[in-house]
Amino acid sequence: MKKSVLFFGALLIIVLGYYFLNNKKDNSQEQVAQEKAQVTEEKVINVGVLQLLSHPALDSIYKGMVEELARQGYEDGKNIRIDLQNAQGEQSNLALMSEKLVSEKNDILVGITTPATLSLANATKDIPIIMAGITYPVEAGLIASEEKPGNNITGVSDRTPIKQQLELMKEIIPNLKKIGLLYTSSEDNSIKQIEEAKKYAAELGLEVKLASIANSNDIQQVTESLASEVQAIFVPIDNTIASAMATVVKVTDKFKIGVFPSADTMVADGGVLGLGVDQYQIGVETAKVIVDVINGKKPADTPIVLANEGVIYLNEAKAQELGIEIPATIKEKAQIVK
Ligand code: TRP
C-alpha cells in the first residue's frame, strides 16, 4: 500500500512537472511572437507621394509602383504606408503638399512629374526623394549628374529616343515633308524635347512648324491652326497634352492627320504610333529604387535608371481610321495598344 502511494506520488510529480515545463515553453514562444509583431509594427515605412495631376500616364506610374512594392513584400497599410497627394495641376497645391509630406516625417518621398519633384526638392534636402518618370532631371536642376546625383534625389527617367520616333514617322507617312511639334511652353521638359526634335527633324530633312500652348484652354485653337498646315504632329512627353489628348485628337481627326506621341498611354488615347516607354513599367522601376533606398542605398551615389526600352506602340484602329498604312516591318515589332 505505502509503496503504491509513493509510486503514484512520483508519477504525479513527473506528469505535473512535464506539464509546467511545456506550458512555460509555449508562453515564451508566444512572447517572442509578440515581440516580433511589435518590431515589425515599429518598422512601418512611411512613403509620401506627390503627383502633379491625374492623367492616364501618371496614374499608371503610380499603379505600377504600388503593385511592385507589394510584390517585393511592402504592402500598403501593412509594413508600408503610402500617402498620395494629388495637386490637381495647381502649382500652389504642390508647395503646400510638399511641406505637409515633409512635416509629417515621411521616410521616403516620391515625385511624379518634374514640377512635383522640384517642389519636394525645395522642401527637403535630407529625406530621400525618388523621381518617378522625370524626363530631364539634370536640366531641371534636380541632380548634378545621372551617374552620381550627389544629393538626396535619385530615381527613374522616362526619356525616349526622339530621333528614332521621327524616323518612324518618315517611314510611315509617304512623302512626309512637314511635321508639327505641339507642346506646352511652361513645361521645361517639353521645351527640351522640342529642341531635340527640331534638331533631328533638320537632320532628316523635315520642315517643322512649332505650336505651343500656355495651358489646356488654348489647346483646341492651337491644334487647329497647326493641323491645317502639317502632315503629322509629334507630341513630346508633356503633362498638359497627356491630359488633353481627347481634345487634340478630336481636332486632328477632323483634319485626317495622325498624332505621334512618346508614351504608350498617349497612343492608347488616340495617338497613331509612338516609340516610347511603358508607363506602368516606370512605376515598377521606381518601386525597385524605393526598396534599394529602404535597404540602405544612398540617393547621392545611386545612378538614375532609364526606363526607356524603346518599344513601338501602335494604335491599329486609329491608323486604319485615318487610312495610314503601317509597313509590315514596323507592325511586326510593334505592340498593339488598341
Ligand atoms: N516626364 C514627365 C515629367 O517629367 C512626367 C510624365 C511621365 C509624363 N510619364 C508621362 C508626361 C507621360 C506625359 C506623358 O514631368
The candidate with the shortest Cα–Cα distance to 248, out of 166, 183, 319, 191, is 183
pLDDT in the model for residue 40: 46
How many helices (H) and strands (E) are present in the chain, helices listed first? Answer: 13, 13
What strand order describes the sheet that includes 80-86?
Answer: 80-86, 45-51, 108-112, 129-132, 153-157, 305-306
Burial 99-121 (b: 16+ CB within 10 A, else e): eebbeeebbbbbbbbbbbbbbbb
More confident residue, 317 or 20: 317
Amino acid at 307: A
* CA 15 to ligand 1 center in whole angstroms: 72
Pocket test for ligand 1, best of 51, 129, 237, 304 (most atoms within 8 A of CB): 237
Residue 223 has a pLDDT of: 98
56: buried, middle or exposed (CB in 10 Å: 19+, 13-18, 0-12)? middle
pLDDT, tens only, 253-300 = 999 999 999 999 999 999 999 998 899 999 999 999 999 999 999 999
pLDDT tier at 327, thresholds 50, 70, 90: very high
Identify which of 62, 130, 189, 259 to mutate to test ligand 1's pocket (most ligand atoms within 8 A of the CB).
189
pTM, two decimal places: 0.86
CB distance 134 to ligand 1 below 6 Å: yes
Residue range 75-91, pLDDT digits in tens: 999 999 999 999 999 99
| Range with lowest mean pLDDT among 13-22, 58-67, 301-310 | 13-22
**Residue range 315-333: mean pLDDT, rounded:** 97
Quote the pLDDT of residue 252. Answer: 98
Query: Ligand 1 within 6 A of 86 CB?
Result: no
- DSSP letters, 237-264, are S-HHHHTTHHHHHHHHHHTT-EEE-SBH
- 231 CB less than 6 Å from ligand 1? no
Query: Is the Cβ atom of 242 under 6 angstroms away from ligand 1?
Result: yes
- Tell me what the pLDDT averaged over the chain comes to: 91
* 49 strand-pairing partners: 84, 110
CA-nearest residue, atom 5 of ligand 1: 113
Diameter over CA atoms, the chain: 118
What percent of the chain has pLDDT above 90? 82
Q: Indicate if ligand 1 lies below 6 Å from the C-beta of 315.
A: no
CA–CA gap between residue 127 and residue 45 (Å, rounded): 13
Q: What's the 279 CA to ligand 1 centre distance in angstroms?
A: 9
Residue 39 has pLDDT above 50, yes or no: no
Q: What is the pLDDT of residue 310?
A: 81
Using CA atoms, how far apart are residues 197 and 217, in angstroms rounded to an integer? 24
190 close to ligand 1 (CB < 6 Angstrom): no
Whole-angstrom Cα distance, residue 169 to residue 166? Answer: 5
**Amino acid letter, residue 300:** A
- Please list the residues that pair with 212 across neighbouring strands: 183
Give dist(CA 313, CA 334) in Å, integer. Answer: 6
**Ligand 1 centroid – CA 243 distance (Å):** 10
Q: Is the pLDDT of residue 12 over 50?
A: yes
279 lines ligand 1 (CB under 6 A): yes
Contact (CB, 8 A) for 299 and 149: yes
- Categorize the per-residue pLDDT at 338 as very low, low, confident or very high, splitting at 50, 70 and 90: confident
pLDDT for position 17: 52
In the block, cell 486609329 appears at 318
* Plot region of 275 (φ>0 → left; ψ -120 to 50 → alpha; else → beta): beta
- Give yes or no for residue 37 having a pLDDT over 50: no
Q: 170 and 303 in contact (C-beta within 8 Å)?
A: no
List all residues 6 or more positions away from 322 whose beta carbon is below 8 Å from its beta carbon: 253, 256, 257, 258, 272
Q: What is the mean pLDDT of residues 118-136?
A: 97
pLDDT tens across 211-245, in order?
999 988 999 999 999 999 999 999 999 999 999 99
106 C-beta closer than 6 A to ligand 1: no
